[in-house]
Amino acid sequence: MTTFVLIPGAAADSRYWRPTADELGARGHDVVTPDLPCDDDSATLDDYADTVIKAVGVRTDVIVVAHSFGGFTAPLVCERVPVRRLVLLAGMVPAPGEPPGTWWTSTGWEAARREQDERDGRAPDDETALFFHDVPPHLAAEARRNVRDQSATPFADPWPLAKWPSTPTAFLLCRDDRFLPATFLRRVVRERLGIVPDEIDGGHNVALSRPQALADRLTAYLTDY
């Protein structure tokens, strides 16, 4: 049985994954949704990876899926336990030695976001339009209630890996993402991973807006080798 390990982004926990986890479970897969210590100011990225590895336990045949800021944690997991495939979902792609807090500037994200805001006609402080424009209102309301505090600690230290792990890696970007725009991510993925990303309709929180379609795409990676 394949185990999908679903790593959340910043200020989020396992509740974010519930609709997608239910879809994967209905397809007969094991699903692990660890809660990272994001509100603990003493916790580093290594501690985040420890949390995931502890949740995986002795499971084998593991696919790791990392959303957004989870992209900084997932490769650390892949360096320490056998992982069949790593899937970055609208993920931040770190570079060796890069502190996560500098990622925004080093990738050119600020300019890309400004351009996307102008295309969308979105006010800079309208986070609902940024993150939940295509999410059913009841799920968006629940997600906003479930937001956790996010410590700045893991954003400060250099990313510890000297190179990307040998784990086969795929990137699934969201075509309607307003936070990490698709045009921006296509460039970042090409420059940093040297691959062409796969694409799915939906915004940044596609695990909430299109869980069935996302589960279909994730299970397709079982045979895409």
Tokens of 199: 């694409």
CA neighbor of 188 nearest in space, from 98, 85, 121, 126: 98
Residue 18 has pLDDT above 90, yes or no: yes
CA neighbor of 133 nearest in space, from 184, 174, 103: 174
pLDDT band at 223 (very low <50, low <70, confident <90, very high): confident
Please give the mean pLDDT across all residues of the chain: 96
Residue 124 has pLDDT above 90, yes or no: no
Residue 13 has pLDDT above 80, yes or no: yes
pLDDT in tens, 188-215: 999 999 999 999 999 999 999 999 999 9
pLDDT of residue 224: 66
Q: Considering the chain, what percentage of its residues have pLDDT values greater than 90?
A: 96
pLDDT band at 125 (very low <50, low <70, confident <90, very high): confident
Residue 52 has pLDDT above 60, yes or no: yes
Handedness of CA 185, 144, 23, 77 (dihedral sign): positive
Please list the alpha-helical segments (H only) found in 60-150.
Answer: 74-80, 103-106, 109-120, 127-131, 137-145
Residue 122 has pLDDT above 90, yes or no: no
pTM, 2 dp:
0.97
pLDDT of residue 187: 98
- Residue ranges of the domains in the chain? 3-220
CA neighbor of 120 nearest in space, from 203, 199, 209, 210: 203
CATH architecture of 3-220: 3-Layer(aba) Sandwich (3.40)
Residue 225 has pLDDT above 60, yes or no: no
Compute the distance between CA of residue 150 and CA of residue 16 in angstroms, rounded to an integer.
Answer: 15
